[in-house]
Structures are given as C-alpha cells and as structure tokens.
Amino acid sequence: MGNELRLGGSAAIASGNEVYLPGYHYIYLTDTLTGTAPVATVTPENFISGLQVLRNAEDAVSDYVSLYNGYFALKDGGDAWYIDSAGCLQNAGGISLSVPAYSSDDLEPNVAESGGSYVFSAKSGYSSYVWTINGSIQTTTENSVTLASSTLAVGSNALLLVATDSSGEVHEATATVTRTE
C-alpha cells in the first residue's frame, strides 16, 4: 500500500505530533475508532474546500469516515475549516466541491478561492482539459482554469471535467460546486 496511514481501533497519533498530508494523500479508516478525540491532528499541504483527507479503507465494513470525521483536528487552517462527513475539508463560508463516489477518481477535481476568482484544478498529465460549468465550456491544455466569482451562482452549480490523455483516452469527472456567499 506504500505511503499510507491507516487508523482503526485504539490507534492515535500522540498529542503534540501531527499528520502532514501532501497533495492527494489520505488517512484511511479501517475500523471503529475507540480512542478519545482528537485521535490525530491533520495538516494538509493545501487547504482547499472539497479536498478529501479521510477515506474508508477498501476493506472497511462500515462508513467509518461519516462516523468519525469529528475525531480529527486540523492545524494551520484557521477556525473556519473542518472535515465534513465525506472526509473532505470544508470552510464554513465560501465555496466547496463535492465529487460523487462513482465519478472518475483519477482526475481529482478541486476548487479554491483566490482574489475574487475561483480556480478549478485537476490532476496534471493530460493533453487537454474541457471544463463545463453550468453549461459554459472552457477548453485548455492546462490542468486549471480561473473563473470570475460572478460565473457561479449562489447555491449548487454543475461541473463536468473531461480530460484526454496522450493516447487519446478520455477521462471524465462530475461534481457539484456549492457557493455559499
């Protein structure tokens, strides 16, 4: 399984230590957590709404993430950040992205606020990207696109990302982008 952190049972990271999560790395929950909250202090490399930091292990027999997301503390993100019941970072205000479990996981779409604009990004390495947001199409060879905040309505917005790799294979991800302010 490589460089993974898997937690379950009475496992806990000692107070004063933290779990640094670079890029798209996760803490995998394998079983019921029996320790006292917080069982770990998590420091993601980037605080991006919708970025997943907790996942159920592939052999998990229950949805441990939704049961134990509150057992983890966050460091350096400020008071507005929390881990939601899907295991994703969220900010109490602003924008978030929800990717359904059936959507293509290899594209890893994200959204972040930056100076009055929204920056949509995905995993790099594809030859082209087509971003469709509420029917408006943005085509690029880059793995990110920046849109004015006025592009998204307050409430739910539809995102479809289609990326083509160098062999011509098409990869697709769907998501809901929620703007709360």
pLDDT tens digits, one per residue of 142-165 = 888 888 877 888 788 888 899 999
Q: Give the model's pLDDT for residue 130.
A: 92
Would you say residue 58 has pLDDT above 80? Answer: yes
What is the domain partition of the chain in residue ranges?
1-92, 93-181
Would you say residue 41 has pLDDT above 70? Answer: yes
User: What is the average per-residue pLDDT within 102-122?
Assistant: 73
The 8-class DSSP code of residue 177 comes to E
- Model pTM score: 0.54
User: What is the average per-residue pLDDT within 38-48?
Assistant: 87
**Which amino acid is it at 40?**
A
CATH architecture of the domain 93-181 equals Sandwich (2.60)
